Amino acid sequence: DARVTQTPRHKVTEMGQEVTMRCQPILGHNTVFWYRQTMMQGLELLAYFRNRAPLDDSGMPKDRFSAEMPDATLATLKIQPSEPRDSAVYFCASGAGGGEDEKLFFGSGTQLSVL
């Protein structure tokens, strides 16, 4: 049963610390998306990759956030330094790059709390 795997599932950290979230997309999928979900803003797209190349990260605060795909099986989202307003659920999703019928499969999310 193929699925998107995200780690950690939960993360509690102090303001100023670095946070790294990891995502293993479904094998064979060539698009990877990072979304952030909060009560106030709903689901926001932070960044997305196709064939490991970043295509759009306009939704991401560049001064503290960075997203990379070091290889096809791993995507990372880093926050440095973290701030309390970064507290949210961060979802990774992957797709087969089929254009308008691109079904995205989501991971279980990382619940981040920055104190």
Partner 1 sequence: AQKITQTQPGMFVQEKEAVTLDCTYDTSDPSYGLFWYKQPSSGEMIFLIYQGSYDQQNATEGRYSLNFQKARKSANLVISASQLGDSAMYFCAIISNFGNEKLTFGTGTRLTIIP
Decide whether 15 or 55 has the Cβ nearer to partner 1. Answer: 55
Q: What is the CA radius of gyration of the chain?
A: 13
Please name the residue that has the structure tokens 């698009």. 31
| Residue 10 touching partner 1 (CB under 8 A) | no
Decide whether 41 or 71 has the Cβ nearer to partner 1. Answer: 41
Please name the residue that has the structure tokens 């060539």. 30
Write down the number of H helices and E strands in the chain. 0, 11
Binding-site member from 48, 49, 65, 90 for partner 1 (CB under 8 A): 48
Least distance between partner 1 and beta carbon 21 (Å): 15
Sign of CA dihedral 56, 76, 91, 51: positive
Site for partner 1, rule CB under 8 A: 31, 33, 35, 42-43, 45, 48, 50, 55-56, 89, 91, 93, 95, 97, 99-109, 111
